[in-house]
Amino acid sequence: MRVRIDLMWQRLSFRTQLFLPLGTGFLAALIMGGVLLQTFAAGQLADENEPGRRLTQTVAAALNNTLRTSNTPRQTLDAFVHSLDISSDIQFRAVDAGPASSVKDGLRKPHGVPQWFVDLLTIPDMDTATPVMIGGQRVGDLLFLPDLSADLFEKWIGFLALTTLVAVLMVLTGTIAYVFAGSALRPLQYLGEGLTRIRRGDYATPIPVGGPPEIRQSCEEANALAATLAQLSQDNRDLLHRLVSLQDDERRDLARELHDELGPLLFSIRVGTIALVEASPTAGHLGNSAEEVLQSVEALQQTNRRILDRLRPLYIEELGLETSVQTLLRNFRKQAPYIGLTDTIDPDLNGIDGPLAQTVYRVIQEALTNVLRHAGASNAHVQATFAGETVIIEISDDGGGFPEGDLFGRGLTGMHERVRALSGSLSLLRADERTYVRCRLPAEPAGEAPVTD
């Protein structure tokens, strides 16, 4: 139960957590004031009317003494009764006039005092009935019936003053708390938004520094953290860029070795094998073996060209990126004619070169390789276009998708590192029964494609 209450309390907003105890405290103060008023009002009313009770008893004793010594006690009593004002607190009640009235019976509610307030108060029992005797016989009672309307009105005014004071204090305290909460929450809101931006990788937008000293210090520390993360991110991109450059250099060197060393050897073997094939009519069974060697050499040459193409597509620098991508797509169609491949390639891609062109080509190449090897797709689409100063690359297919929790394989992981080195983004997602590889790379607006001979 306590844990549930704690969870409910934690779900409340800061203003609610601040105003709820304040409101509860003021309401408790108001209730306590009402309880104290009800508790002490009876004793106060009794103390205030105690002199009147004693005066009634004194007047009754004097009247009885006068009646005992008077020759006409009945006339003396009548004269005394007539001398009493109807609004006086002392009244005479004859024996044959019925039961005596009480203070509560004769209580007159003052104007403007609600009945619930009168019912709330405990009216003390202040009835005083002193017998009046003539000739040893009781002829009536001298009653003390005070008018409590003025006292009730006084108590009502005091209650209103207390309620008004509590209400004014509640409004003032609430206003001050609201302003304070706003001044404290606004910097906290800015701090939360800034931390969210930092979590998403935006380190350039500073967090406004304001509010109490503790919050200002937190904002300054968060800005310092963002600056540190920005520097680390830049250092990481520079490191990735150097690693990618080293990988490209190694690929280039390896491609050059394969092209300059292995290529001529394969060509020499092919020429010699062709000579053997031509001499096969006089060589007997040697001609069949020469044919097999020739086929193996041609297969090795094709494999060597594919390896060279994957290591370093040298024709990007000569033909341009758009033409190289189109060549890649044509080769894919030849290799997988059962996959319907469509494309949207911007001709302005020829306007970019260097690591950016290499990365665009590699992303498309690796994605198509995955479609061919793993997707089991019947159709695919390749898009490479510009959107302002950003190159948008998207490769989609209707294959079986990727295993859950295994978004990037080894090939796409390498592409992700290349993309990060260029401050880009690479994502893999599944939507509408299609798999999408999406890449965004920052680039300057493409210019005219270079003219080639």
Does pLDDT of 451 surpass 60?
no
CA distances from 181 to 176, 189, 314 (A): 8, 11, 64
- Measured distance CA(345)–CA(35) in Å, rounded: 84
Give me 140's structure tokens: 């009536």
Lowest mean pLDDT among 159-173, 235-249, 319-333, 390-404: 235-249
Q: What is the pLDDT of residues 99-152, one digit of tens each?
A: 555 544 445 556 677 777 777 776 666 666 788 888 788 888 887 777 677 777
Q: What is the pLDDT of residues 400-449, one digit of tens each?
A: 776 555 555 556 677 777 788 788 888 888 888 888 899 999 875 434 43
Judged on CB neighbours under 10 Å (0-12, 13-18, 19+), 219 is: buried
Report pLDDT for 155: 79
Structural domains of the chain ordered from first start: 14-175 (no CATH), 313-442 (3.30.565.10)
The whole-number average pLDDT for the span 20-39 is: 76
Report pLDDT for 192: 87
Q: What is the pLDDT of residues 174-189, one digit of tens each?
A: 787 777 777 777 888 8
Does pLDDT of 257 surpass 90?
no
Q: What is the mean pLDDT of the chain?
A: 76
Report pLDDT for 391: 92
Give the percent of the chain with pLDDT over 90. Answer: 3
The whole-number average pLDDT for the span 232-247 is: 75
Q: How many CA atoms lie within 13 A of 322 on its CB side?
A: 16
- Measured distance CA(284)–CA(272) in Å, rounded: 17
Report pLDDT for 142: 80
Does pLDDT of 292 surpass 50?
yes
- Measured distance CA(439)–CA(364) in Å, rounded: 10
Report pLDDT for 450: 39
Report pLDDT for 392: 92
- Measured distance CA(244)–CA(361) in Å, rounded: 14
Give me 287's structure tokens: 């001609």
The whole-number average pLDDT for the span 216-238 is: 85
The whole-number average pLDDT for the span 12-17 is: 66
Return the higher-pLDDT residue of 287 and 343. Answer: 343
- Measured distance CA(436)–CA(398) in Å, rounded: 9
Report pLDDT for 5: 66
Does pLDDT of 215 surpass 50?
yes
The whole-number average pLDDT for the span 211-230 is: 86
Asked whether the whole model's pTM tops 0.85, one would answer no
The whole-number average pLDDT for the span 308-329 is: 75
Q: What is the pLDDT of residues 346-378, one digit of tens each?
A: 888 888 877 888 888 888 888 888 888 777 788
Lowest mean pLDDT among 86-90, 215-219, 432-436: 86-90
